[in-house]
Amino acid sequence: MKGKQILVIGASDDVDYLDESYRIGRFIAMNGWVLMNGGRGGIMEAASRGACEAGGVVVGILPGSEFSEANRYCTVVIPTGIGLARNSINVLAADMIIAIGGKAGTFSELA
């Protein structure tokens, strides 16, 4: 049976909500859910670190085509090479979306 896939979205350069993002990532992993995100820095990296340190699975769905773009806490990396169009993949693959802070990219993902 498929476990819950929780998408955490937020800006890659956001430093205002890193502690909250870390705690949310940890919470996701401690419940046995899969954390999904854009795989990069800021909010995504903080949530990834929280989930990874709690023994969870972290899926980073990257806008670019290089595995090296992923933050070091991603346990599964999916480089799409389709830029911001990857936002639709993120949303369609998630059972739930948690938005933290964010800018234009985050808001377009929510829309």
pLDDT at 1 over 70: no
Model confidence at 15, in pLDDT bands (50, 70, 90)? Answer: confident
- What average pLDDT does the chain have? 94
pLDDT digits (tens, 9 = 90+) for 28-72: 999 999 999 999 999 999 999 999 999 999 999 999 999 999 999
Share of the chain above pLDDT 90, in %: 80
- 3-state SS track over the chain: CCCCEEEEECCCCCCCCHHHHHHHHHHHHHCCCEEEECCCCCHHHHHHHHHHHCCCCEEEEECCCCHHHCCCCCCEEEECCCHHHHHHHHHHCCCEEEECCCCHHHHHHHC
| CB-neighbour burial class of residue 81 (10 A; exposed 0-12, middle 13-18, buried 19+) | exposed
CATH architecture, domain 5-110: 3-Layer(aba) Sandwich (3.40)
All structural domains of the chain with their residue ranges: 5-110
What is the mean pLDDT of the segment spanning 83-90? 91
